[in-house]
Structure 1
Amino acid sequence: MEYKKYIGFLIILVLSIQGIQSRTLISTINDSKQEEKSKPALMWFDAEANFGRFNNPDSIDFYLAKIKVLGFTHAIVDVRPITGEVLYESAYAPRMKEWKGAKAGSFDYLGYFIKKGHELGLEIHASLNVFCAGHNYFDRGVVYNNHPEWASMVYTPDKGIIPITQEKHKYGAMTNPVNEEYCAYILRILTELVAKYPDLDGLMLDRVRYDGISADFSHLSRQKFEEYIGEKLKRFPEDIFEWKLDTNKRYHPARGKYFLKWIEWRTKTITDFMARARKEVKAVNKNISFGTYTGAWYPSYYEVGVNFASNQYDPNKDFDWATPAYKNYGYAELIDLYATGNYYTDVTISESLRNNKSIWNETDSQAQSGTWYCVEGSCQHLHQILKGNKFMGGILVDQFYDNPSKLPETIAMNLKKSDGLMVFDIVHIIQKNLWKEIEAGMIAGGALQPKKSSKAKVMWLDCSANFIRFSYPDSIRYYVDKCHEIGITHLVLDIKDNTGEVLYPSKYATQKRNWKNFDRPNFDFINTFIEAARAHDLKIFANLNVFADGQNIVKRGDIYTKHKKWQGVNYVPRKGLLPMTEIEGKATLFLNPALKAVQQYEINIIKEIVKNYSFDGIMLDRARYDCIDADFSPESRKMFEKYLGKKLNKYPEDIYEWRPNASGEIDRVAGPYYFQWIEWRASIIYNFMKDVRQAIKSINPDCMLGVYTGAWYPSYFEVGVNWASRTYDVHQDFHWATPNYKNYGIAELLDFYTNGNYYWNVSLDDYYKSSGRHKNETDSQVSTGEYLCVEGGCKYSKYLLKGAVPVSGGLYVEDYKNDAGQFRKAVRMNLKESDGVMIFDIVHIIRNNWWNELKEAIDSATAYE
């Protein structure tokens, strides 16, 4: 008996240990996965640009804490700017004690960065400009004050070979990398720094290169090159290259006999220096990270003597400037932390191909083009040439001053497509207060968790486009789950489409059981959706296309049969008054909104839905007139005359008249009662909305009344809707509005409102780069104005609504077909500038498979809340 107890105890013990080991193993695996997901994010602190700002410890405390909160892992602290001065006490280099009137602080600048950064869990790497020792704009620095002989000699098209200090359009006075005296000098600085700051995490060497293709053509370089090739040059510099004018009157280097060997030799010079520098600093501190920054434009970076690729990559197979030996000088394997400048405003490959820009990078002698010169394409190419060696994709923040909404996208692309991120420079973020854009990019790139959002994210579920897809309960549950997973908070379920048919058994309306030869199986469609939404605490609205009652394309709807007497009558140019069913090319057919019988019919349907289903709200779409041409029926004339208090002499000419103009087109010419007509139609819609609200609230006070309209307010009077607040006096801004028009603003009647910012142009900058001309769905003519872009539309909507009701800016996904970047930008802009976003329609998200794109945009937009 005791033996059995002992055996049982052992079994339990073994199982417990196995369980602990299993949990430990699982925990270790999960931790490992978490580490794999975490990518370095580097923030650069330029010495000169930030000299006055960071000359006291409080500023360092503040900004290091700020970047830590935003998900950055490294601070790159520039301690040797291009003047060659340093920001610490050195036995070799002069200290920068002032810059542009600002004085250095009386504390150990780099030491404080290290101390504070480590307290916050940040790595601190010191950046030094290596082969630069003077600032040509200020005639300041080591090559000006102490060693002019170190300055690079550059071969210019117009002046011949001159010291770089005479090239005043070049701000950096670069040195000659083959000058042994200078190389020994800079290596003493590097090793001194590493010894002085043993807790420093790494070095980030900048400008370890030649100035450009024109450098260095000193006597020393000629001598060293001749030693390299084993023969004397007959013509110098012509044996290397000669400046020639092209057809565009631009100089280009025409290659000489030894051009390729010259390129090879210069690259060997830089790589040899990098190997030497690594060895010497590692001898002082074996744990120091040896890092560097270069530009990302590899196809032309040979011009500065740098091969940052892997030595396993052979550029000779891809580029005509590379000799077979060139690959031997790839130095990627020497580098512990590599940051490269993806300094491009085109983010995606598709955007780059569409824009087809010529790019002139900082070090280039000629313009470049191709997929290398966008962020996504650059990352793809860099992975290929680095052969598994990692790189941090860098961004230049001030490139996005004119279009800050693109900044998050470029951050996210670098984080996703490279091995990390480098942001240059913190000064640009501070000057333009771009912290929200940085935060949004870090969230979108997965470096930062999104905040909990209070803004509505609405997914529209169109009736017809999704008819087959949503004919199965499991499909409904699947897509509701997908919506929840990406952050959607509200669903708008379209249950009465533009045919006027409904998706449930109704006492009033025809039920839609079949669409495009497909018969929907018999199940409780609406409650299946409601239950799926409730499982995730999603709000769900029932949408009704209110005054739409027929689809002319397929000749379907009750407007053709039992509601024919209610159909609208339009005043059609050149054709006069026509019933809706007789107008060619008219896709959606409308009933006359002014008819009491029509209004009561629609309200009966709404009441039926509120009574029978537990929707969180009712959403009204097409609760409007068809267009400016509608409605000119005899019934509308009688009602308008009653509103006016007088009879019309000529109808419809007393409202307006279509008149041919000199160019053969038709103009709408206002009659004596045109403006009162506009006012009356707005009163029809306003009073209908009042009745709908009363009908809903009398049944369920908690059921919300929501409305969708177009966002183009300046022309939306054409469909009889004033969606502004009644406190906004329209008459002050628009000639078509009477003093009484403002009384029919519907905003105060609503609990929820969304409108269609249906524009390709997202930012105001996008708008001003375009023609500005746009014709919206309900417009009779082309419009212009800042509101005709997503940013402008959101801001204008908020202005018009005066806080009466929140507005969720809507977007039409198909507007951004083939451009996921512009789609993400539109989602973010609506969430940034309005109170939410409405996505029309789920069918386009499914077809484009843009679930991840939508989630990324939603998550990153929380930075703006």
Structure 2
Amino acid sequence: MSARIEKGSNVLWVDFLANGNRLADPQEQLKLVNQAKAAHITHLIVDAKIPYGHVTFASSTAAPHVSEWSGGRFSAWAGRDFLRELTGKAHEAGLTVVANIDVFAEGTIRSRDGLAYDRKDWQVTYYQPAAEGEAQAFIKAEDGHEDSIFVNPLHPEVRAHQLAIIHEIAGNYPVDGIVLDRCRYPNVYGDFGDLSRERFEAHIGAEVERWPEDIFTRGSGEGKERIHHGALFPEWTKWRAMNIKQFVQEAKAAFKTLRPDALFCIYVGSWYPLYYEEGVNWASATYEAGLDWASPTYHESGYADELDFLMTGCYYPEVYKEEAANNGRPAFWYSVEGGIEMSAAAVNGQIPFIASLYLQDYENNPDQFAKAVAMCRERSHGVMLFDVCYLEYYQWWGLLPALLK
């Protein structure tokens, strides 16, 4: 039987980029787990692979270790294993540990680090639709604007690399589960490389006569109006989501073969009506949203049913739907309450979900933070707090025991 998440779970994310240098001190690690335990945290999420492809543990794969970052940013971790060190201390404190794996991101533009620079054929190709008087263009991810260099989820070497990391963690580390993050395309403009075109044309059984204008072209506005959907857009959108679903199924098999009783979960944003842009349908396959861009069979690409639980980012400063409306937000789900309602509808009762908060949204407003936590705990299976660094910055550790009991 698959592992389950219990109602009332309190999850705290430990982001390596924000906390790695502080937590190089073993005493700071002990302080963290003891504070978490005293605050009624039940689960720690510990970064195993960061958004730039580096791993925090002793890996035999091609993934670079965090200590290899240019400029020596994390040189304090040379010869050390963050995942093992923090997992051991967390377990001693009685906490459940879930290892985070940032999947389809393998480099950073800012420092030009990461495996994507060695494996350039892995990189996503972005489509830049033509503006008036200009020609359309295609650029590799390292020449784009996204700091994380995304790689093509369809590339067989990319998939094999991610699965090898998952298999390695499952076999060598006593974590209680894994969570996949960035298990997606970067945005609506990627990937439009040759491999994606070849696979999509094989999928539809025909050549795309006007590539990629038959999928979409540039619009004249913002938001939904910034692109115009072509005739193939609904099928393209489902196909991208099916690519991610198939990888999720492969990742689950790689993990559960070795750890059948451990938790397998994913983090996504709660803004479901827009999440097709990332090539993801995180809903249950039983959920038919009826959105105007979706094909009649889009629901088949939903992957929630593969998970033990889902974490959805309700990353909004407004807690209540009424607040969102009063502040001119374009939809009810631009609020913690609305994001939770959207999440509940999409998973359709098939799996537990945990509403998640970005603590920086509540800087200098601990009362609003308290309301957001209460909303998450009341309406979902608990709360996930991102990230522990803000508890340090805002000195909010003292707030948590009363909020999470």
Contact kept in structure 1, 2:129 and 2:218, CA below 8 Å: yes
Counterpart position of 1:746: 303
After TM superposition, give the deviation of residue 659 of structure 1 in Å: 4.5
After TM superposition, give the deviation of residue 699 of structure 1 in Å: 1.1
After TM superposition, give the deviation of residue 641 of structure 1 in Å: 0.6
Correspondence for 1:568 among 90, 102, 124: 124
Distance 1:596 1:799 in 2: 34
After TM superposition, give the deviation of residue 724 of structure 1 in Å: 0.8
The one of the two structures with greater contact order (alpha-carbon pairs below 8 A, sep at least 6) is: 2
Contact kept in structure 1, 2:46 and 2:97, CA below 8 Å: yes
Distance 1:572 1:856 in 2: 50
Q: Secondary structure at the match of 2:127?
A: strand
After TM superposition, give the deviation of residue 514 of structure 1 in Å: 5.1
After TM superposition, give the deviation of residue 524 of structure 1 in Å: 3.8
Equivalenced residue count is 390
Q: Secondary structure at the match of 1:544?
A: strand
Correspondence for 1:580 among 141, 144, 149: 141
Structure 1 unpaired stretches of 5+? 1-452, 773-783, 860-865
Contact kept in structure 1, 2:107 and 2:149, CA below 8 Å: yes
Does residue 809 of the first structure (1) align with residue 355 of the second (2)?
Answer: yes
Q: Secondary structure at the match of 1:459?
A: strand
After TM superposition, give the deviation of residue 586 of structure 1 in Å: 2.0
Per-residue CA deviations over 1:226-272 (Å, capped at 9, x if unaligned) read xxxxxxxxxxxxxxxxxxxxxxxxxxxxxxxxxxxxxxxxxxxxxxx
Correspondence for 1:828 among 364, 374, 378: 374
Distance 1:668 1:576 in 2: 15
Counterpart position of 1:263: none
Counterpart position of 1:494: 47
Counterpart position of 1:690: 249
Structure 1 letter corresponding to 2:385? I
Counterpart position of 1:269: none
Within 5 Å, give how 1:198-237 maps onto structure 2.
Answer: none
Distance 1:678 1:833 in 2: 30
Shift in alpha-carbon separation, 1:567–1:524, aligned structure 2, 3 A: closer
Distance 2:155 2:275 in 1: 21
Distance 1:523 1:679 in 2: 42
Rg comparison, structure with higher value: 1
Within 5 Å, give how 1:231-630 maps onto structure 2.
Answer: 454-508=7-61, 509-513=63-67, 517-521=73-77, 522-561=79-118, 563-574=119-130, 576-583=137-144, 585-630=145-190
Shift in alpha-carbon separation, 1:641–1:519, aligned structure 2, 3 A: same
After TM superposition, give the deviation of residue 660 of structure 1 in Å: 4.7
Distance 1:456 1:666 in 2: 39
Counterpart position of 1:247: none
Which aligned runs of 4 or more in structure 1 are off by greater than 6 angstroms?
Answer: none
Structure 2 letter corresponding to 1:470? L
Q: Secondary structure at the match of 2:10?
A: strand
After TM superposition, give the deviation of residue 593 of structure 1 in Å: 0.9
Counterpart position of 2:262: 703
Distance 1:534 1:657 in 2: 52
Q: Secondary structure at the match of 2:24?
A: coil
Shift in alpha-carbon separation, 1:512–1:595, aligned structure 2, 3 A: same
Contact kept in structure 2, 1:795 and 1:834, CA below 8 Å: no
Distance 2:180 2:73 in 1: 28
Distance 1:464 1:824 in 2: 26
Correspondence for 1:718 among 248, 259, 277: 277
Distance 2:219 2:12 in 1: 43
Structure 1 letter corresponding to 2:171? K
Structure 2 unpaired stretches of 5+? 1-5, 131-135
Structure 2 letter corresponding to 1:501? H
Contact kept in structure 1, 2:47 and 2:83, CA below 8 Å: no
Contact kept in structure 1, 2:167 and 2:255, CA below 8 Å: yes
Q: Secondary structure at the match of 2:325?
A: helix
Distance 1:728 1:503 in 2: 37
Distance 1:494 1:551 in 2: 17
Distance 2:153 2:317 in 1: 31
Contact kept in structure 2, 1:763 and 1:792, CA below 8 Å: yes
Structure 1 letter corresponding to 2:82? F
After TM superposition, give the deviation of residue 856 of structure 1 in Å: 2.5
Counterpart position of 1:674: 233
Q: Secondary structure at the match of 1:495?
A: strand
Q: Secondary structure at the match of 1:550?
A: strand
Per-residue CA deviations over 1:675-711 (Å, capped at 9, x if unaligned) read 1000000000000001111111111111221100000
Per-residue CA deviations over 1:109-140 (Å, capped at 9, x if unaligned) read xxxxxxxxxxxxxxxxxxxxxxxxxxxxxxxx
After TM superposition, give the deviation of residue 830 of structure 1 in Å: 0.8
Q: TM-score with structure 2 length normalisation? A: 0.92
Counterpart position of 1:797: 343
Within 5 Å, give how 1:9-20 maps onto structure 2.
Answer: none
Distance 1:744 1:706 in 2: 17
Correspondence for 1:839 among 385, 393, 396: 385
Distance 2:304 2:180 in 1: 13
Contact kept in structure 1, 2:101 and 2:181, CA below 8 Å: yes
Q: Secondary structure at the match of 1:513?
A: helix
Contact kept in structure 2, 1:756 and 1:811, CA below 8 Å: yes
Distance 1:498 1:604 in 2: 17
Contact kept in structure 2, 1:827 and 1:854, CA below 8 Å: no
Distance 1:835 1:667 in 2: 36
Root mean square deviation of aligned Cα: 1.8
